[in-house]
Amino acid sequence: MIGKWQALVIDCEDPDKLAGFYQELLGMIRVQEDEEWISIGDAADRPAVAFQRVERLVRPQWPDAEHPQQMHVDVLVGDLDAAEAEVLRLGATSLDAGTETFRVYTDPSGHPFCLVLT
């Protein structure tokens, strides 16, 4: 092993807003916070999802190869319909893509993520 995973860092224009979205989606807590950077996770000594402020975010345009998704988060859920209602309430946007086992959305900053049926 070369190293140990610390965080997945997501660029965004409003770290507070996007961290709040993912806190609700994943059931995590804030473990580090300042004006430019917020990390959420299970505990301060565990790997985190971090949100870094950028002045101008170039949003992915999935599945457009000119503006690729770059990365996405898969979230396991027990009920796609119930989970969809909740993420839309939190500010997600449906991309009207997927199958009977997963659905594709964007978070409030335009990053794609999937709800995946367990």
Nearest to 50 by CA among 69, 28, 68: 28
Per-residue pLDDT tens digits for 31-87: 999 989 999 999 989 999 999 999 998 888 878 888 777 778 899 999 999 999 999
Asked if 23 contacts 32 with a C-beta cutoff of 8 angstroms, the reply is no
Instruction: Report d(CA 46, CA 68) in Å as an integer.
Output: 29
> pTM, whole model, 2 decimals?
0.84
pLDDT of residue 34: 93
